[in-house]
Chains A and B, each alone.
Chain A
């Protein structure tokens, strides 16, 4: 090491002397001469380079404090947006990458996921949380120069409550169903929507039929312009030019969606009149780049950042980290992968009619045994999966609430650390022992016991985890039937119509950052409760956590969720495998980046590039 260092210095001196000689010799042939020293510098020792870098940094330092205006930034995503650039109709994360620059909500979420002022500067909520009155920022204009007013807010919610909204392809009804007068307006009985009311140009009131625990989340939906869509029938909004075409999509955000080369490039140009402050960047260009080429382009500087929804693959982390000009931000994703147990199955009749009625469910033998589920949890080394499949870029979680939420409580849950001994003893205790000495456990009735595992294709990590899980379970003496993976759409159909023989299923969820309420996935009647887990205590706790007036107090909710998490963790309807990390990679010339827990794009008007 030291020797190399010495050699390096020697070579350096030699090269320096040589270049001096060369300069002296060739002082007349200036072209060749000016190139020579450059070349020698490149071949020089790292020591020299370090001092070089140091000098550059010093030079750049004053510049890097002071944001510079101008410049273009290029981002990459691996799949093109479907092309519906309208907050009330889009459904994919890829559109999000455009709409996050162009549209804004009344409230935004801070790094602790609390709601704070955005287009609304102030708000008051009445005592029983049925009404919220928001005061809007004045002087905000749409990209086309029209003023932003309370009418736009009313219009946005009214559009989502209109009859025909769902039929036209909209899915965001969760934001409006609880508003006063939704039923009457949606069924077409009346033209008046009482749920959202204009007080004056810059004041708007939302009225809910019931006390609303998640009132702030419900008013934080991106606003669309009334003066553009006001006269358009809701069924025509998805195919309206202001929804589809670059240059015609109008929002209030810091960037204007100005040009596109469909499925290849999406150009956002700065909105010089942005109400918060003029953005530093002139342009942000999204390029659609194949996953396999993305890192190469990041390396050679053709693209500047890789962010949501997929980020840098965990397997490539080291490669990207080794690039000097690329910075990495890593944070936990909302969402998790799980190994679910089909504790119950529905009856044929219920599947046929689409009813979800826990009273009719048929317990799935063996999987309905709590001890068996716990034993499987102990049998699986999840940390090893995180370390090897995710290269350590993820975490083992034990409760189905995103770790970023105030509601997540690690202390309330059983950790289920890898313990095959314990798994064996739990299975013995449950009566699943090897009675015929074939090395495999039989059911308590002495019958052959085979546990089937079903999983979908599409997510490579999940696909890779299935055989590993099967192996872990086999190691505690259980015969496993690892079924052929199915394509996602076909898989979901089988998962939903669960009058089958399924025991274990794999699935992943990406969760919203708005509110931690887990009832949409784990309540017994919830359609997405694919395990058909039926635990009255869990249902009760989730209900209480959302029940007014106690639930207005976040601490109270946190307490209920903590209890719920311990119930979940003990009864274990599903073993949560891992929460993956988001890995954002960006060129060091990009400054001012401050990702939020839920996304990379935050205050892009403060982003700037140093050239």
Chain B
């Protein structure tokens, strides 16, 4: 049986930035990205260039593929088709310039490590294989934990922190990566007001320092206040661009429109065909 979705063509080595629609200035260029789990497509044909030094929200209903896009960019989810480049280079070449904040539920918070240990993990990339965490790196981690207001909690075991504090530990860990581009998966999910303010503060500092931050976001109320750019997603990109032009009533209806979209139905059909049903 011929698979319906083909593997990405690895031979086309021309950088995306050579194409007119993409630019080497962009921290991330996504080209014709399709992601499928067990051959059932979850994200179809995404094209996107993030502008440098901006805060970008990815917004859409449950199951729209918001986290999936991030994971595919970072190589954590398999690409069924398409390519992703960062500043015109492949991921492997610029790994150290990219930070990642996974969803809080993705790790085991009973793990016997302190908050500082977790933040220090952000330094591992700079430390490299087989070398211990040196005093300078620990100090740098301590500085990051201080920036999110948790200096007093540095030596606590992570299960003793509240949900909001855990989220800030993750944020501090991303800061410790000292990246130029960050991907954050639902950092605002289920946090208290103090944490939300701390996160926004950090996002603004990051932007002021020249970084771009791409955030999966669920709270439509705060999109306009917190972000410069928005990508409205429901399995495909419904609209993307500056919040002022893009975040409109019309586009939101298109993104969140109640019924199953044609794409979702098509994805189901693909999955059924693969099952032989």
> A and B, one complex?
no
Mark B residues whose CB is within 8 Å of A.
none
